[in-house]
Amino acid sequence: MKIIIAGDGKVGAILTRQLSAEGYDLTLIDANLKVLESTEERYDIMAVQGNCASMEVLEQAGIREADLLIAVTNADEVNLLCCMTAHGMNPDIHTIARIRNPEYTEQIYKMQNLFALSMMINPERQAALEIERLLKYPGFLKRDTFAKGRVEIVELRVEAGHKLCNIALNDLYNIVKCKILVCTVIRNGKAVAPGGNFVLMEGDRIFVTAPANVLTMLLKNLGIITHKVKRVILCGGGRVSYYLAQSLIKNGIGVQIVEQDYDRCIHLANALPHASVIHGDASREFLLDNEGISDCDALVTLTGVDEMNIIISLYGSSCKVPQIITKLGRLENNTILDSLPIGSIISPKELSCNHIVRYVRAMENQTGAALTIHTIADGQAEAVEFMVDKDTLHCGEPLKKLKLKKNVLIVCIMHGMKLDIPNGDSCFEYGDTVIVVTGAGRVVYQLNDIFE
């Protein structure tokens, strides 16, 4: 499949890495020659220098044979124009545009029809949705949804003195009283695929597959107190903040936004009359103290500077804020961050890349290919959702008889509306949906790839 990526910024770079690794024909368009050269050196791609909205440049990039155009330059209008032009030159092409301006968000569906876009992505809005989902269940560090929201893989940290401490996975059911499956454990920064005798220890981060309807019970039985979030402090008043505050307020949650730029404060105060907007530097401790950080329910750090976010989150952690969410632009230093108590980590760019990759994979092969893919365990594992079709091998055979590749685990089987957290006797049939967790570096494109 031929894919053109317009804009070689941060998102463009992550997409290039991901998609070229999966073997697609990539063409990259950017105005900056230097950036293109360095990308060309690292990956097996074609690079075209120029304005991605100009017909000549698109022609050069081979728009007429391309199957997909992903416009991720930093200007919304350029992205839109690029997609429209491309669509005019090649009516069969799929187009994805990144649109970030909140003023366009309300008209997003109309625009999608108007400009014949296949998909529009808004990284900040997605990040806000993700954060909102996390705030709904304080206690989980991360949540990934599958099967249209019916199954989730959630991340938990095993704290000292926790009920889960020193428990073997075989005995887990006695504590949580519901069917769940631990699919990956991160111990000392390394992902481990645990067996039944694996004993959990303090400091482990575990990834649990569970039906969405047992999440509350799970938290309750684990003894994690989940009082409803009533007041949230947002540090930084950028776009993520705006979207997040908007939906939190709609749910009746009190929001305080700390922002440094006065004009931005005025803008926010006008756009969000029910939020309390504070003008000041969020990295000053006394300011956060004044705003009552010690008794707020959650702290979300959303400034544009990663270091600042980490520092504020650390301060929040020292003030015993129950839930902390940190936004990071770069995820390269994850191993160091793992040891810091900065709560959940959200990266808008990573989120939107995952979104696009998912679309690409679904586009390539409607049957047999992955329906959804989520990167979990700091990128050391992937959870992939597949549809079982007529070409799938081993239908109807119990799982204990199958020989799966190393580090591959089937964590959930859905027969129509029935949800099954599988054990050795379970089997999948034609028409089922299965969720597979695979270890690091092993990309699974087809369900049949998991068998030896």
Partner 1 sequence: MNYKMMGRFIGHILLVEAVFMVVPLIISLFHDEDIVCIGFAASLCVILAVALLLLVLCRGSKRSFKAREGLVCVGVSWIVMSLLGCLPFYISREIPSYLDALFETVSGFTTTGASILSEVEELSMSILYWRSFTHWLGGMGVLVFVLAVGAFGERSKGFTVHLLRAESPGPQVGKLVPKMKKTAEILYLIYIALTIVNIAFLLFGGMPLFDAVCTAFGTAGTGGFGIKNDSIAGYSPYIQNVCTVFMLLFGVNFSCYYLLLLRQFYSVLKDEELRLYLGVVIGSIVLITLDVRGFYGTLGETVRHAAFQVASIVTTTGFATTDFDLWPDFSKAVILGLMVIGACAGSTGGGFKCARILIVVRGLRRNLRRAISPQKVQVVRINNHMIDEKVLENANAYLAAYVLILFFSFILVSVDQFSITTNFTAVLSCFNNIGPGLEAVGPTCNYGDFSWLSKLVLIVDMLAGRLEIFPILILFSRSTWGVFNRKSG
Where along the sequence are the contacts to partner 1 (CB under 8 A)? Answer: 259, 262, 265-266, 268-270, 273, 276-280, 287, 290-291
Give the residue ranges of DSSP H helices in 106-229. Answer: 108-114, 123-136, 172-176, 215-221
- We find the least distance from the C-beta atom of residue 109 to partner 1, in angstroms, to be 23
Residue 153 near residue 376, CB atoms below 8 Å: yes
207 strand-pairing partners: 155, 184
Instruction: Name residue, tokens 């482990």.
Output: 204
Distance in angstroms (rounded) separating the CA atoms of residues 100 and 412: 35
Q: Which is nearer to partner 1, 5 or 268 (CB)?
A: 268
Q: Which is nearer to partner 1, 248 or 268 (CB)?
A: 268
- We find the least distance from the C-beta atom of residue 317 to partner 1, in angstroms, to be 23
Q: Which is nearer to partner 1, 258 or 346 (CB)?
A: 258
Task: Give me 93's structure tokens.
Answer: 């092409």
Q: Which is nearer to partner 1, 21 or 266 (CB)?
A: 266
Distance in angstroms (rounded) separating the CA atoms of residues 100 and 122: 5
- We find the least distance from the C-beta atom of residue 239 to partner 1, in angstroms, to be 18
Q: Which is nearer to partner 1, 91 or 273 (CB)?
A: 273
DSSP string, 220-268: HHTT---PPP-EEEEES-SHHHHHHHHHHHHTT-EEEEEES-HHHHHHH
Q: Which is nearer to partner 1, 273 or 396 (CB)?
A: 273
Helix (H/G/I), strand (E/B), else coil: 379: helix
Distance in angstroms (rounded) separating the CA atoms of residues 200 and 182: 11
- We find the least distance from the C-beta atom of residue 40 to partner 1, in angstroms, to be 47
Residues in CB range of 132: below 8 A, 6 or more apart: 244, 247, 248
